[in-house]
Amino acid sequence: MDFQARLEALTHQLRPWAPLWSRSILQGWPASGAAYPQAWLAYARSLDDAGERALDQGVLVGSPPPDLGALLSVLEELTALPCHEGLHSLSVAEAQGLSTKKAHELERVLSLLERRAHFIRGAVDIGGGMGHLARLCSRTFGWTFHSIDRDAELQDKGRRRLERTHPSGGDSLCFIQASVEDGLQPQLDALFSGRERASIGLHTCGPLALTQLRKSQGAGFVLNIGCCYDKLEMPRDYPVSRFGKEHPLPFTPHALALMTRGRHHKTEVEFARMKRVYAWRFAFDLLSRRCFPERGFVRAGDAPRGLYAGGFSIYARDRLARLGLDSSMTDAELDAFEVSVRAETRDLLLCHLLRDRFARALEVVLVLDRGLLLEESGFLVECLQLFEARLSPRNLALIASRSD
Ligand SMILES: C[S@@+](CC[C@H](N)C(=O)[O-])C[C@H]1O[C@@H](n2cnc3c(N)ncnc32)[C@H](O)[C@@H]1O
Residues 128, 50 share a domain: no
Residue 161 lies in a domain: yes
Residue 179 lies in a domain: yes
Instruction: Tell me how far apart the alpha carbons of residues 143 and 220 are, in angstroms, rounded to a whole number.
Output: 14
Residues 376, 328 share a domain: no
Residue 135 confidence class, pLDDT cut points 50, 70, 90: very high
Residue 150 lies in a domain: yes
Identify the pLDDT of residue 110: 97
Residue 234 lies in a domain: yes
Res 34 pLDDT > 60: yes
Sequence-separated contacts (24+) of 174-179 with Cβ below 8 Å: 174/144, 174/145, 174/146, 174/147, 175/128, 175/131, 175/134, 175/146, 175/147, 175/149, 176/146, 176/147, 176/148, 176/149, 177/148, 177/149, 177/150, 177/151, 177/152, 178/148, 178/150, 179/150
Res 166 pLDDT > 80: no
Q: How far is the CA of 181 from the centre of ligand 1 (A)?
A: 12
Residues 375, 328 share a domain: no
Q: Mean pLDDT over residues 319-329, rounded? A: 93
Q: How far is the CA of 82 from the centre of ligand 1 (A)?
A: 26
Residues 121, 247 share a domain: yes
Residue 201 lies in a domain: yes
Q: How far is the CA of 195 from the centre of ligand 1 (A)?
A: 24
The fraction of the chain above a pLDDT of 90, given in percent, is 90
Q: How far is the CA of 150 from the centre of ligand 1 (A)?
A: 7
Backbone phi, psi, residue 385, to 5°: -90, 115
Site to probe by mutation for ligand 1, drawn from 110, 145, 150, 187 as the one with most ligand atoms within 8 Å of Cβ, is: 150
Residues 227, 120 share a domain: yes
Q: Mean pLDDT over residues 357-361, rounded? A: 97
Q: How far is the CA of 394 from the centre of ligand 1 (A)?
A: 15
Q: Mean pLDDT over residues 120-132, rounded? A: 96
Count of residues for the chain? 404
Q: Mean pLDDT over residues 299-313, rounded? A: 91
Instruction: Tell me how far apart the alpha carbons of residues 388 and 264 are, in angstroms, rounded to a whole number.
Output: 9
Residues 272, 161 share a domain: no
Q: Which domain holds residue 367?
A: 92-256+362-402
DSSP string, 49-78: HHHHHHHHTT---S---HHHHHHHHHHHHH
Mark which of 318, 340, 356 sits at the end of a domain. Answer: 356
CB-based burial label for 292 (10 Å; 0-12, 13-18, 19+): middle
The dihedral sign for the CA sequence 234, 235, 241, 244:
positive
Residue 213 confidence class, pLDDT cut points 50, 70, 90: very high
**Number of structural domains in the chain:** 2
Residue 404 confidence class, pLDDT cut points 50, 70, 90: low
Which pTM value belongs to this model?
0.95
Identify the pLDDT of residue 204: 98
Residue 11 lies in a domain: no
Residue 278 lies in a domain: yes
Residue located nearest, by CA, to atom 3 of ligand 1:
203
Identify the pLDDT of residue 301: 86
Identify the pLDDT of residue 278: 96
Site to probe by mutation for ligand 1, drawn from 203, 231, 232, 237 as the one with most ligand atoms within 8 Å of Cβ, is: 203
Identify the pLDDT of residue 168: 64
Residue 8 lies in a domain: no
Q: Mean pLDDT over residues 170-182, rounded? A: 90
Identify the pLDDT of residue 264: 77
Residue 261 confidence class, pLDDT cut points 50, 70, 90: confident
Residues with CB under 6 A from ligand 1: 127-129, 148-151, 154, 179-180, 202-203, 205, 208, 227
CATH of residue 398: 3.40.50.150
Identify the pLDDT of residue 263: 72
Residues 282, 246 share a domain: no
Instruction: Tell me how far apart the alpha carbons of residues 29 and 34 are, in angstroms, rounded to a whole number.
Output: 9
Residue 403 confidence class, pLDDT cut points 50, 70, 90: low
Residues 176, 249 share a domain: yes
Identify the pLDDT of residue 392: 95
Q: Report whether 199 contacts 124 (CB < 8 A).
A: yes
Residues 55, 204 share a domain: no
Which residues lie closer than 8 Å to 52 by C-beta, 6 or more apart? 44, 271, 275, 349, 350, 353
Q: Which of 109, 117, 116, 112 is nearest to 134 (CA)?
A: 109
Residue located nearest, by CA, to atom 1 of ligand 1:
203
Identify the pLDDT of residue 265: 83
Residues 336, 378 share a domain: no
Q: How far is the CA of 205 from the centre of ligand 1 (A)?
A: 7
Site to probe by mutation for ligand 1, drawn from 205, 211, 237 as the one with most ligand atoms within 8 Å of Cβ, is: 205
Mark which of 339, 356, 373 sits at the end of a domain. Answer: 356
Residue 361 confidence class, pLDDT cut points 50, 70, 90: very high
Residues 221, 168 share a domain: yes
Residue 171 confidence class, pLDDT cut points 50, 70, 90: low
Identify the pLDDT of residue 172: 87
CB-based burial label for 95 (10 Å; 0-12, 13-18, 19+): middle
Q: How far is the CA of 242 from the centre of ligand 1 (A)?
A: 27
Residues 270, 184 share a domain: no
DSSP string, 157-190: HHHHHHHHH-TTGGGTEEEEE----SS--HHHHG
